[in-house]
Structure 1
Amino acid sequence: MRLVCREDSVGHTGRRGQVGIGTLVVFIAMVLVAALAAGVLIHTASFLQATAEDAGKESIDRVVNGVEVVTTAGHVTDGDDGSVDTVRLWVRPRPAAGDINVSRLTVKWVGEQAGQSLTFSGTDPVAPSTASDAHTTFNASESIGDGDKILEQGEEFVLYFNVSQIESGDADPANLAPLHPGDQATTEITVATGSTSAAYLTVPDYSGNATYVRL
């Protein structure tokens, strides 16, 4: 039989206690690391969720909000060649769109001779602008609605463009560049939320007495 002295027993117990404390320290450290990692994951997940929600809302706004071009017409000049000097676009909101502030619309015009970014003028809201900025602006008036500059469901606006000035690149009445039969132009109408609607215009080969022709 092997005899163990009291000193050996006490020393062995002390070593086991030290091992137990070390294990506890490692365990606590692992718990802290896991807690920190969980916090980082939760923060990242919340950030990604918020980003996805913002992106989703922006995508919905771009698809839902915006205008539809109902019809287009061009004013025939006094000459005999069927040229068009001004253009009108009738627009209404898309079926699920919210209210649209017409004064905040921007229009990109790409024609035969010029490309211009146009902003709302309002100097003469029921006719194409003849002001000094006629080549960079458009006018608008409500054809169906309550008379304000907000396009709501059930309402329509007419957008007016002084094409002769836009195509010439300046507002000098001496420099006019109307669209001729066969000429084409594109308008891209963008609302404040970023949604864009396009209308493609072609001047018909027309001879007659009508003041306006469909484009």
Structure 2
Amino acid sequence: MKLNQFMKNKKGATGVGTLIIFIAMVLVAAVAASVLINTSGFLQQKASTTGKESTEQVSTGLKIIQTCGKLNGNKIDKLAIYITPSAGSKPVDLRNTKILLSDGHATSIVSYNVEYFEATNAQIFDATGSKAWYNSTTLPNYNFGIINVQDDDGSCTANSPVLGKGDMAVLTVNCTSLTLAPKTRLNGYLQSEVGFKTQFTYILPNAYGKTEDVIILH
């Protein structure tokens, strides 16, 4: 009788221990599942954010409508680059946009200068009457100015030159640091802070006409 009683007590103890272990395993599994769910949610959010940033990087940027050059003797010393946001682009802030130009021998990188902003659609190459070229001093060859051509929503201002859908502006560039003589290959690109790089290459004419003042490069 004592032996049977001992065996019953032993089985009871074993059952309680197993239950404790089982509960512990369930709790560990629940904690692990919670960690996995949280991690999955974080990764999903991260992937969504990364995907959105990648889409903006691919779709956002500038489109060059036309590029004109102003002659000074036998070389071009000013450029006017007509731009608009590309199709499907987010608004583009021109404050941190860079322009790179190269004539094959020298390279010029220019950035926006808030002092050289023309709010009205003035004559493009008005070297003294347009603030995009002259504002107390002549536009330096390391800066570019802006002429606001079309801006229905008023988003393009001197301190915040943002181009949205349907907007158009002219970037004015003093390219006296380059030698843009006939037959020169002019390479360059526009790079906004967010978005893709807009590259361009222009082969300048074999000769400039004696009566020409402005040349359309593109």
Return the TM-score normalized by structure 2: 0.79
Confirm whether residue 107 of structure 1 aligns to residue 99 of structure 2: yes
Give the Cα–Cα distance (whole angstroms) in 2 for the partners of residues 110 and 9 of structure 1: 100
**Structure whose alpha-carbon radius of gyration is higher:** 1
Confirm whether residue 185 of structure 1 aligns to residue 181 of structure 2: no
Give the Cα–Cα distance (whole angstroms) in 1 for the partners of residues 68 and 202 of structure 2: 9
What runs of 5+ residues in structure 2 fail to find an aligned partner?
Answer: 118-129
Higher strand share: 2
Give the Cα–Cα distance (whole angstroms) in 1 for the partners of residues 139 and 167 of structure 2: 28
AA at the equivalent of 2:150? I
Aligned ranges 1:60-209 → 2 under 5 Å: 60-79=55-74, 83-125=75-117, 126=130, 127-128=132-133, 134-146=140-152, 148=157, 149-165=161-177, 167=178, 178-208=179-209, 209=211
Q: CA RMSD in A?
A: 2.3
Q: Secondary structure at the match of 1:204?
A: coil
Contact 2:183 2:207 in 1 (8 A): no
Question: CA-to-partner distance for each residue in 1:115-148, whole Å, 9 max, x for gaps?
Answer: 3332101433344469587232111111223563
Instruction: Give 1:170's aligned residue.
Output: none
Change (3 A) 1:10 1:205: same
Aligned pair count reads 196
Contact 2:116 2:144 in 1 (8 A): no
Alignment counterpart, residue 213 of structure 2, candidates 190, 211, 214: 211
Instruction: Give 2:125's aligned residue.
Output: none
AA at the equivalent of 1:49? Q
Return the TM-score normalized by structure 1: 0.80
Give the Cα–Cα distance (whole angstroms) in 2 for the partners of residues 99 and 198 of structure 1: 19
Q: Secondary structure at the match of 2:115?
A: coil
Confirm whether residue 58 of structure 1 aligns to residue 70 of structure 2: no
Contact 1:84 1:203 in 2 (8 A): no
Give the Cα–Cα distance (whole angstroms) in 1 for the partners of residues 100 and 49 of structure 2: 27
Shift of 1:162: 0.9
Percentage of identical aligned residues: 26
Instruction: Give 2:15's aligned residue.
Output: 20
Instruction: Give 1:39's aligned residue.
Output: 34
Question: CA-to-partner distance for each residue in 1:50-74, whole Å, 9 max, x for gaps?
Answer: 1111111111111222110111111
- Which segments of structure 1 move beyond 6 Å, counting only runs of 4 or more? none
Change (3 A) 1:211 1:133: closer
Shift of 1:207: 3.0
Contact 1:86 1:128 in 2 (8 A): no
